[in-house]
Amino acid sequence: MRLEELVKKLNQEFEVKAYGADPAFKRFLPAAYESVSFDWEAAFEEEFTSYFNGLMIRGASEVEQVFLAVFPTDHVLERFIKEGKPGDLLFMHHPLLMECGDPQGEWRRGFVPIQPGLIEQLKEKQLSVYTCHIPLDYHPSLGTSAAMAAALGMTVTDGFLANDRGEHLILIGEIEEINSPELKETLQSVFSIPYVDCEGPSLEKIRKIAVVAGCGDKVEWMEEAEKKGAQAYITGEIHCHIDSEYGRERFSKMMAYASGTGMSLIGVSHAASEYLVKKTLMKDWFEQNMGLNTTLLPQEKWWL
């Protein structure tokens, strides 16, 4: 398949231009690369430097295979460079690595740029990179939260944090009755993670849940979910473990809320929560709609 055709279909499916510049990465990407004195505007595609979504690095003109990942960790990029052939495309959620920290380990750095040497290797091998952040999060049928809802057998009944078309970032709905310990076991299996991060009470009966991929560690979001009747709040990160004043302030605010909430709060890791859509909905979309082979690139460590 021609790269131009695939990029056009992806841009249309996710309405990349309609969203404008990505609100997170228009701030964090320039800062990350400027911190290492790297000319990111020259390295990346011109349209990407305006929207911070879409085709980031242009490779050869014919795409045979799509690789699927969340963050551009060294491990992920090294595998892509080793296994990819000229023209292959890496479809990621983030154009930067985000080190969120490990609830059972170290606090980490937050946003980290791709090593310039790896960017050069991608270009030398004529590999393409396409990233899709906010447009993927909000997509009603291919979204990160939509994938979580589908995997948990959730019937969506409500939501909040809507975009201009009324599509919700946070989804609320009904599942088959389950208790908190069973829900934690289910989540470890669904997301293929060694452990979850938990706060709040352990409940005997859970029927209504809220789901949001990524960093859901915002107290105001949790409060709104609880007002809407959610008994469990499932997200990537319930705590911020970024080793900075910002991270410690977020952590403290979250702990104050957790001490009084009636919801079970469960984190499955930022990366794993967003990888789910890649190994389910997006894998099927590329194979069934685009006729392309796919290769999954899971992270070497989910709590990073």
The full set of domain ranges for the chain reads: 3-134+274-295, 137-272
Q: Binding site annotation covers 137? A: yes
> For the chain, where are the E strands, in sequence order?
54-57, 65-68, 89-92, 97-99, 110-112, 128-131, 155-162, 168-178, 197-199, 206-215, 232-237, 264-267, 293-296
* Beta-bridge partner residues of 108: 242
User: How much is the pTM?
Assistant: 0.96
Residue 163 CA neighbour count, 13 Å, CB half: 17
Domain 137-272 has CATH 3.40.1390.30: yes
Assigned superfamily of 3-134+274-295: NIF3 (NGG1p interacting factor 3)-like (3.40.1390.30)
Q: Binding site annotation covers 274? A: yes
The tens-digit pLDDT sequence of the chain (304 residues) is: 999 999 999 999 999 999 999 999 999 999 999 999 999 999 999 999 999 999 999 999 999 999 999 999 999 999 999 999 999 999 999 999 999 999 999 989 889 999 999 999 999 999 999 999 999 999 999 999 999 999 999 999 999 999 999 999 999 999 999 999 999 999 999 999 999 999 999 999 999 999 999 999 999 999 999 999 999 999 999 998 988 898 899 899 999 999 999 999 999 999 999 999 999 999 999 999 999 999 999 999 999 9
Q: Nearest 5 degrees, angle CA 79-CA 80-CA 86?
A: 140
> 3-134+274-295 and 137-272 share one CATH topology?
yes
